[in-house]
Structure 1
Amino acid sequence: MELECYPTSERPPEIVPGRPQRAWMDKFAARHPYRCLPLSMANCTGWEILCPMAFTMEWNGGLMQEDIKLTPDRPHPDFHRFVTSHFSHGVATFHPGYLFRTPPGWSMMVQGPPNHVKDGIQPLAGLVETDWLPFPFTMNWIFTRPGRVRFEKGEPFCFITLVQDKPLQEIQPVIRSMKSNPELRDQYEVWEKHRSEFNQKIFRGDPDATKEAWQRYYFKGEFPEDVAPARADHVNKRRLKAPKFGR
């Protein structure tokens, strides 16, 4: 399958596979957050679109378009086509620079980079039917309070990933007692027992538990006490393809 990316500008922003690293995760002792596999996997399950220049946005709290001031670090020919104050009410609008076409039945989730925290501003997410849409979309961020926000050159301003969204409406959520699935209940109880014992050892300063530091069951796709075989299709690292040029 292909994700077709048609540039709509002479110098479109760069698209790269999602990267697992986050500055706030790096600051923890022993980079502890990277042990949470769901965090790292979310960070790289899609593609980042990067800012082609560094700039500052400032909102004075007003409701008009002119209440957002956009200032590049240095003059750039594409700046005022790349980011604008279009919707007013503290919303800044970015232009990804591409018209995307996805395979039939696949839509594009457009959002901010997962777990990429910016103080004072929030990315807005959208789901776009890119399997038929003949025009591009925008990426929008909304200020959460008056103030100044900075984007660096090469910083992701948009994150895209693909979903088969239409089959979702066929899925029926069902709430069941754990007793109705004895195998799952037993697996859960074994995990809960191991988790509780391990946390108690950590609290007591047990040297073996402290050295181990964290339990790796999910990271390795394993079950405690081998209550079931490890998943052969478990994924703990994702490397998406970088865009290539086609005809």
Structure 2
Amino acid sequence: MELECYPTADRPPEIVPGRPQRAWMESFADRHPYRCLPLTMANTTGWEILCPMSFSAEWNGGVYQEDITLIPDNPHPDFHNFAKSHFSHGVITFHPGYLFRTPPGWSMMAQGPPNHVKDGIQPLAGLVETEWLPFPFTMNWIFTRPGRVSFRKGEPFCFITLVQDKPLAEFQPVIRPLARNADLMGQYTAWEKHRTEFNAKIYRGDPEATKEAWQRFYFRGEYPDAVAEPPKDHVNKRRLKAPKFGG
């Protein structure tokens, strides 16, 4: 399967597979947040589109386009086509520089990089039917308060991932008592028992638990007490393919 990326600019931004690293995760003692597999998997389940230059953006709180000021750190010939004040009301519009085409049944979710925290500004997410769309979309960020923010060269301003969104309408959410599912109830009870005992040991300063530091059932794709066969398709590291040039 192919994700077709057609440049719409002479020098389109670089696209790279999603990277697991986040500055705030790195700042924790022992890089503790990386033990949370859902975080790192979210970080890498898609591709990043990177800023081709560094620039600052400042919003004075007004509702007009001219109330946002965008200034590149250094002169860049593509800046005026890359980032703009288009929608007003504190919204910055980025042009990703590509027209994307996905296989039938697949759409593209364009959003901010997962778990990439940026003070004072919030990325907006959009779902795009790229299986047929013959023109590109924009990526937008909205200021959360008046002030100044910076985007650095090489920083992701857009994160794209693919979803089969049409079948979602076929799903019916159903709320059931956990006791109705005996197998799942047993698996949950075993996990809860281990979790409670492990946290109690950590609280008491138990040397063995302290050395272990965290439980790895989910990271390894295991059930506590081996109450069921482990999943064969569990993934704890994702490295997507980088774009290549094709005819």
Counterpart in the other structure of 1:144: 144
> Is 1:38 paired with 2:46?
no
Counterpart residue type for residue 37 of structure 2: L
Distance 1:23 1:157 in 2: 15
Counterpart in the other structure of 2:124: 124
Counterpart in the other structure of 1:88: 88
Q: How far 1:43 moved relative to its partner?
A: 0.1
Q: Write the deviation string for residues 88-133 of structure 1: whole angstroms up to 9, x where unpaired.
A: 0000000000000000010000000000000000000000000000
Counterpart in the other structure of 2:170: 170
Distance 1:187 1:52 in 2: 48
Q: Write the deviation string for residues 141-187 of structure 1: whole angstroms up to 9, x where unpaired.
A: 00000000000000000000000000000011110111111010000
* Matched ranges for 1:199-214 at <5 A: 199-214=199-214
Moved over 4 A (4+): none
Distance 2:223 2:186 in 1: 11
Counterpart in the other structure of 1:53: 53
Distance 2:99 2:152 in 1: 24
Please, which runs of 5 or more residues in structure 1 have no aligned partner? none
Counterpart residue type for residue 76 of structure 2: H
- SS of residue matched to 2:208: helix
Counterpart in the other structure of 2:104: 104
TM-score, normalising length from structure 2?
1.00
- SS of residue matched to 1:53: coil
TM-score, normalising length from structure 1?
1.00
- SS of residue matched to 1:199: helix
Counterpart in the other structure of 2:182: 182
In the alignment of these two chains, the number of paired residues is: 247
Q: How far 1:232 moved relative to its partner?
A: 1.5
Distance 1:122 1:83 in 2: 15
Q: How far 1:230 moved relative to its partner?
A: 1.6
Distance 1:37 1:90 in 2: 34
Distance 1:16 1:171 in 2: 33
- SS of residue matched to 1:99: strand
Report the aligned-residue RMSD.
Answer: 0.4
Identity %: 80
Q: Write the deviation string for residues 3-35 of structure 1: whole angstroms up to 9, x where unpaired.
A: 000000000000000000000000000000000
